[in-house]
A and B are shown apart, each in its own frame.
Chain A
């Protein structure tokens, strides 16, 4: 088996699949280890370090992953938008790989956000689900990004698939921005906002008490779930894409013989 020597980040993650070695690059292995340690430390901060909210009790601790997971999904979907834009500019497949990775990772993190929100809602709103504008928009957002994967799977010509997916991925970010903005512009939402005033009908608001360790727990988990987790998973997913490209090239060579 051909194993290339150590390559730089851009060479390994984004460049020629034919030169990609099969093993995990050292930098990615270190980032993965850091992320795992970060997830563990974040859990300690959320469950052990921060004090429980006086009004909501233990369930409020889910917030330390619920909100950062959404920001992580936003980062991943922003990577999709950036990847799509760069692909349309340069026509280099590596940017399309970034866009696809962003959608997969963003969907996983958005699912974490949505499901933890539902579980938090049950004791606080007395319902697993309500057709609140923000919840509904987030469900639509997830379906829109799931449709991105369906769209890709339905187009066999690689160049056409990449072009369509790039435009779709760039437009879909508008829904993510709407999910963020809707609680501030629709007065009938019951979903509270963390920063800035919540709507009058918001249920389940709480104060981020720095002296109770809440700000520190949020800060650590924000670093982990909004930056480390999406970055690590996106890098792994790009490597998978590069390996698939390499396999396709090998198959083409075999077919030519």
Chain B
């Protein structure tokens, strides 16, 4: 059986990197929009 576990590790690292990048981009956008909503609502209450 060929020993190629290093490629499997590389593949798993790539999956983690791609999905983390997307999740972080979502989280950053959520945080920015939430912050802006709170600010806009406070401005409307004033």
Contacts and interface: CB of A to CB of B under 8 A. Distances in A.
A56 interface: yes
Given A57-B1, A112-B15, A120 B7 contact: yes
Contacts, number: 93
Given A233-B22, A243-B30, A56 B2 contact: yes
Interface stretch (A58-66, A88-96, A156-164, A172-180): A58-66
Interface string A15-41: 000000010000000000000000000
A54 B1 contact: yes
Interface residues of B, number: 27
Interface string B1-26: 11111011011101100110010001
Contacts of B18: 108, 111-112, 115
B29 A240 contact: yes
A62 B8 contact: yes
Interface of B: 1-5, 7-8, 10-12, 14-15, 18-19, 22, 26, 29-30, 33-34, 36-38, 40-41, 43-44
